[in-house]
Amino acid sequence: MALIRIEGDNLVVVIEGLDKLWAFKGSLTIPLANVRGATVDPGIATEPKGIRAPGSHVPGVIIAGTFHQDGEKVFWDVKDRSKALVIELADEQYTRLVLQVDDPRATVALIESTLTERK
C-alpha cells in the first residue's frame, strides 16, 4: 500500500511494508507541476500490465513495480483493486502511477484540490 501526501510543491508517494520489496522502490517524489490529475479506478487492475522490469505480478495477490506497455512506463503498487487510484503524470519517468491507498476518494480529492489551488 502507498501513503500519499503533499509536501511543498511535490507529491510524495511512500511505499509501505513489504511492498517496497515487491515494487523495488521505497518512495517517489513528483513535482506537482507534472501531476495532470487523479482518478479512482478499481477496474484498472484487470487490464493488461505489459512487461515488468523490475517488478512483481502474482495474479490476484499483488501488482508492484515498473511495467512497460505501448512505449509507456507505469508504476504499480496494488493488492486490493477496490482501493486503486490512478495518478496521471506529464514529463516524468512514469506516465502514470497506479496505487492502492486506504481511502482512494479522499486521496483523489486531496490531489485534485491541491492542483486546483495551484492554478
Output the tens digit of pLDDT for each of the chain's 119 residues: 999 999 999 999 999 998 898 899 999 999 999 999 999 998 888 887 888 888 888 888 889 999 998 899 999 999 999 999 999 999 999 999 999 999 999 999 999 999 998 87
Query: d(Cα 102, Cα 118) in Å, to the nearest integer?
Result: 25
Look up the pTM and report it: 0.93
Question: What top-level class would CATH report for the domain 2-118?
Answer: mainly beta
Task: Kindly list the domain boundaries of the chain, sorted by start residue.
Answer: 2-118
Q: What is the full DSSP assignment across 44-88?
A: GGGS---EEEEEEEETTTEEEEEEEETTEEEEEEES-GGGEEEEE
Measured in degrees and rounded to the nearest 5, phi and psi for residue 24 equal: 60, 30
Query: d(Cα 95, Cα 97) in Å, to the nearest integer?
Result: 7
